Amino acid sequence: MQSRPTKYIFVTGGVVSSIGKGLTTACIGALLEARGLKATAVKLDPYINVDPGTMSPFQHGEVFVTDDGAETDLDLGHYERFLGTRMSKLNNFTSGKVYETVIANERRGDYLGGTVQVIPHITDEIKRRLKLAAEGFDICLVEVGGTVGDIESLPFLEAIRQMRSDVGVQNTLYVHVTLVPHIATAHEFKTKPTQHSIKEITGYGIVPSIIICRSEQPLDEKIKNKISLFCNVSPNCVINAPDVKTIYELPLHLNNEGLDQRIVELLNMWTGAPKLDPWTKIAASVTDTSRKTVTIAMVGKYVDLTESYKSLSEALIHSGVANNCKVKIVYVDSEGLETAEVEHALKAANNGEMVDAILIPGGFGVRGSEGKIAAARFARERKVPFFGICLGLQIATIEYARHVAGLKEATSEEFEPNSSCAVIHIMDSQKKVEQKGGSMRLGAYPCSLKTGSKAREIYGKAQISERHRHRFEVNNAYRDQLEKAGLTFSGTSPDDTLAEIIEIKDHPWFVGVQFHPEFQSTPKIPHPLFTSFVAAGLAAKEKSAVTVEKGGDKKSSGSPSQRGVTANAVQQELTSSLTRN
Ligand code: GLN
């Protein structure tokens, strides 16, 4: 039997950047998946970097890592969280990567003396990559990064224009996401930017059949009809996507607007009604204001850049769903901790209240490391639930070495290259690395869990697979000494050469992992480590409330939000990180 051809949905954006094209793309995928279709998504990034792996978090936000070790755009994280499909290196490519391939072909002589040009050589390479990623899927969503009108995205637009004649009109659909601003003084929504954006993209030969209008407030029919008239789409193909309380509500909103129905009609596909139950439940849980709140301090360096910890904050939301609680994250600058007393700094970041748990996320470089070590020490000594991720494991190991194992000079080679007591050192495989990009230990590796350990209990199995992104590791020369001092290496590479998980006994919850579990957490399948960590935070909160009540000081029990305390600048209510902006 001949397989059905893949249908392509191309998503472009206009008016301004950061309007949530990635989320919209992911939600379209979720809706089509809910209709029983097999969907994947590809992100095209117009910049020249070969991948985002070498870009600063200030420039790019989180680098999302796939199982096969690709360092990708954070939109792939959205795709994985909304779609059942796992992403791979096929699902994200940049102009730099396309040019790299074409130039390598040219050097090999593949073009037989021809002049190598944007059309057809660059556009052909873009299309080749798209078709490869789409193989075996009913639907391939293609999100073009940047905003229509950018010079650098032109080859991508040209390639997706050509795709229509390559694979057929019936197999392609163009969706344009725009912003419809509201001018407060005129009390009016303005459609002109959308009109201009449609005019611009039509000029490239791409005619969108669906326009998704982002707006702060819901648009009325009059505005939708106006956009329909001026932009040449049916009124029911003007889809409104107003700001939502949680991103997990978005599939439901878009379905309510008829988006998935329009898509299957336009692509001439027959499917059943979408099964949206899981999304209804997740959205209801995340927006339930009666839930208890657990407060987690995230101690890191890029606290102003919450986009750098995107998967992490989402994973915490997922575990909130699993624990039926709201997870509030307070971001604490680790550099500030170097000078301030930890307890004082944590309370200052949380409106004077102690946090329920501490998390140290992945990171790079010496800056702020002493503050993180102080936070890990505080968590260990004061029995506050603690989760160290990647650099967080390394920090916790250094802290334990210094203050429990008696290795006062313990540090990481990353912080002090010539240290005589590097309990964390460069991995052998990293010693000969000369080129920065794509050269860390990347992607999924197996890990064996020790019988009787907390990790084994949490995962409920003996072997796991988790994704990595690091160059340094626990130095095996110190493993015995650390173990004797009470540190458990509860997860290791199957050949036992690499420490993957540490934990300590006599503590309610103290775990460090060398990998990034956040990359595998989805709202439908929250990650067990985060779920267990948040549960420990809740237990700690309840215990401290009981203690406080026994002590008679009822005023300070309960979280700030339960007592109506408003958020300050350092503190970010989880709901605000959920709001699309
Ligand atoms: N900087 C550390 C390393 O390279 C940790 C990396 C991380 O946290 N992703 O090993």
Report the 3 state secondary structure along 323-351: HCEEEEEEEEEHHHHCCCCHHHHHHHHCC
CA-proximal residue: ligand 1, atom 1 (nearest): 364
How many Cα atoms within 13 Å fall on the side-chain side of residue 101? 15
The pLDDT tens digits for 346-359 are 999 999 999 999 99
**One domain for residues 249 and 332:** no
Identify the weakest region by mean pLDDT among 204-218, 306-320, 477-491. 306-320
**One domain for residues 102 and 238:** yes
**Residue 403 belongs to a domain:** yes
User: What is the predicted pLDDT for the residue at 228?
Assistant: 97
CA-proximal residue: ligand 1, atom 9 (nearest): 362
- CB within 8 A of 96, min separation 6: which ones? 47, 48, 49, 50, 51
**Residue 576 belongs to a domain:** no
**One domain for residues 337 and 241:** no
The best mutation among 472, 498, 515 to test binding of ligand 1, ranked by most ligand atoms within 8 Å of the C-beta, falls on 472
Q: Is the pLDDT of residue 64 over 90?
A: yes
Average pLDDT over residues 291-314: 87
Higher pLDDT, 449 or 581: 449
Please name the amino acid found at residue 381. E
**One domain for residues 213 and 314:** no
Name the residue range of residue 378's domain.
290-570
What is the CA(374)–ligand 1 centre distance, in A?
Answer: 18
Q: Choose among 404, 378, 574: nearest CA to 482.
A: 404
**One domain for residues 371 and 222:** no
CA angle 147, 153, 155 (to 5 degrees): 150
Q: Choose among 348, 406, 357, 410: nearest CA to 383.
A: 357
What is the CA(365)–ligand 1 centre distance, in A?
Answer: 8
Q: How far is CA 350 from the centre of its chain?
A: 24
CATH number at residue 542: 3.40.50.880
How many Cα atoms within 13 Å fall on the side-chain side of residue 49? 16
Dihedral sign of CA atoms 254, 259, 263, 269 in order: positive
User: Which of the residues 60, 470, 516, 527 is marked catalytic?
Assistant: 516
476 vs 470: CA distance, rounded Å = 16
CA-proximal residue: ligand 1, atom 6 (nearest): 470
The best mutation among 54, 63, 414, 467 to test binding of ligand 1, ranked by most ligand atoms within 8 Å of the C-beta, falls on 414
Active site residue 344: no
471 vs 435: CA distance, rounded Å = 13
Q: Is 35 left (phi over 0), alpha (psi -120 to 50) or beta?
A: alpha
The best mutation among 469, 498, 518 to test binding of ligand 1, ranked by most ligand atoms within 8 Å of the C-beta, falls on 469
User: Using CB atoms within 10 A of its CB, is residue 480 exposed (0-12), middle (13-18) or buried (19+)?
Assistant: exposed
Average pLDDT over residues 571-579: 30
In the chain, the number of structural domains is: 2
What is the CA(243)–ligand 1 centre distance, in A?
Answer: 35
**One domain for residues 34 and 107:** yes
What is the CA(137)–ligand 1 centre distance, in A?
Answer: 35
E-only strand ranges, 228-305: 238-242, 292-300
**Residue 259 belongs to a domain:** yes
Q: Is the pLDDT of residue 129 over 60?
A: yes
CATH number at residue 107: 3.40.50.300
Beta bridge partners of 93: 44
Q: Among the atoms of ligand 1, which is closest to the Cα of residue 469?
A: 9
182 vs 129: CA distance, rounded Å = 39
CA-proximal residue: ligand 1, atom 3 (nearest): 470
SS (H, E, C) 396-423: HHHHHHHHCCCCCCCEECCCCCCCCCEE
Q: What percent of the chain has pLDDT over 70?
A: 93
What is the CA(392)–ligand 1 centre distance, in A?
Answer: 9
Active site residue 518: yes
pLDDT band at 416 (very low <50, low <70, confident <90, very high): very high
381 vs 395: CA distance, rounded Å = 15
What is the CA(364)–ligand 1 centre distance, in A?
Answer: 5
**One domain for residues 237 and 108:** yes
Domain boundary among 282, 298, 326: 282
**Residue 294 belongs to a domain:** yes
Q: Choose among 508, 246, 458, 504: nearest CA to 356.
A: 508
User: What is the predicted pLDDT for the residue at 559?
Assistant: 36
Domain boundary among 241, 265, 282: 282
E-only strand ranges, 95-184: 139-144, 172-179, 182-183
Active site residue 390: yes
User: Which of the residues 27, 237, 325, 390 is marked catalytic?
Assistant: 390
The best mutation among 54, 64, 312, 364 to test binding of ligand 1, ranked by most ligand atoms within 8 Å of the C-beta, falls on 364
The pLDDT tens digits for 350-388 are 999 999 999 999 999 999 999 999 999 999 999 999 999
What is the CA(389)–ligand 1 centre distance, in A?
Answer: 9
**Residue 2 belongs to a domain:** no
- CB within 8 A of 110, min separation 6: which ones? none
For ligand 1, which residues put their CB under 6 angstroms from it? 362-364, 390-391, 414, 469-472
**One domain for residues 45 and 151:** yes
Judge whether 22 and 145 are in contact, CB under 8 Å. no
316 vs 313: CA distance, rounded Å = 5
**Residue 476 belongs to a domain:** yes
Domain boundary among 233, 254, 282: 282
Identify the weakest region by mean pLDDT among 127-131, 206-210, 301-305, 513-517. 301-305
498 vs 475: CA distance, rounded Å = 9
**Residue 1 belongs to a domain:** no
Q: Among the atoms of ligand 1, which is closest to the Cα of residue 472?
A: 10
**One domain for residues 175 and 73:** yes
H-helix segments, 168-241? 192-203, 221-231
